[in-house]
A = this chain, B = another copy of it.
Amino acid sequence: MGIALGDNSYGKTGNHLFKVLRSTDQHEVRDYRVDVELTGDYAAAHIDGANADVMATDTMRNTVYAIAAQHEFDAPERYGMQMVDYLLTQPRVTGATVRVVEQRWARIVVDGRPHEHSFTKAAGGKHTATVAGSASGRSVTSGIVDLDVLKTTNSGWAGFLEGGYRTLRDTDDRILATSITATWTYGASEAGEPDYAKVWDGVHDRIASTFTDHFSPSAQNTIYRMGRAVLEQFAEIDRISFELPNKHHISYDLEPFGLENDKQIFWVTVEPFGLIKATVQRD
């Protein structure tokens, strides 16, 4: 029995690209953290140390900026596509994946007017995009990370599994706090490429508003409702996946001090945390 090279890939991680659009005095910015990853036939590089067809990760870094200079893009999905299209033209590359996390910036408002060229970090999470390409096509995944939300009521956790090592009691009124990560993919469409920026804003709003609109019996059910709401509104999306850490807010025990605590005083734990993952998709 011999020894062989198995799956392999390589790339450049953490390229921080910042582009300013200054065609008018009303500047716009694109603030992207870009990861590049390639696959291909690199057996000789691994086994024999033959580098001839291996693109340096430093070259990938240059590529991140050179492609950004030559293209216009209004969403990280489009930039990712431009990157992947270029990378697939290079020798020995059979697959290219580009992941982007966009830090969104909002204009500073001065005297009620959004400023032309001054910005502050936007609330509401970051826009993510992953574009993967090969000879057989391209796939685009859009997403949100760090959408931090909580509700102070209209959430419970009751009637769950008895026995085993259970000690937690039922509650019909707890704080639900989480940091939402969502990723979604698009179905084939006659309408052509989605308007990624517009869809992102819409999905963001549907997730946030659905989070508020029901009694939550569990993170699981709230995830399902959020996913269903997105799929119902956006025909171009065919599946959406969520990861919700449960940022536990636990009622602080003030009984030893003769103090009442009627869902007012909580301590927030860091670890461990519940982590709930689910996908909602079209049948």
Contacts and interface: CB of A to CB of B under 8 A. Distances in A.
A279 B6 contact: yes
A191 interface: no
Contacts of A212: 108, 110, 115, 118
Nearest to A258: B66
Interface string A54-86: 111111011101101110000000000000000
Contacts of A10: 219-220, 274-277
Contacts of A59: 160-161, 164-168
Given A161-B53, A168-B56, A175-B20, A278 B8 contact: yes
Contacts of A278: 5-9, 46
Interface size class, chain A: 35 or more
B117 A161 contact: no
A55 B119 contact: no
B121 A161 contact: no
Given A46-B223, A58-B167, A161 B90 contact: yes
Nearest to A104: B123
A152 to B, nearest CB: 5
From A45, A63, A157, residue with most partner B Cβ within 10 Å: A45
A102 B280 CA distance: 35
Interface of A, secondary structure class, is: mixed
In the complex, the count of this chain's copies comes to 4
A127 interface: no
A53 B212 CA distance: 26
B159 A13 contact: no
B8 A279 contact: yes
Contact of A218 (B49, B122, B228): B49
A52 interface: yes
Nearest to A27: B152
Contacts of A111: 209
A192 interface: no
A126 B205 CA distance: 24
- Give 4 closest A-B pairs by Cβ, nearest first: A6-B279, A14-B271, A49-B217, A57-B274
Given A62-B256, A120-B124, 16 more contacts: A3-B227, A15-B267, A18-B175, A29-B152, A47-B224, A51-B158, A55-B160, A55-B161, A56-B161, A59-B167, A59-B168, A66-B257, A108-B211, A118-B149, A123-B124, A270-B271
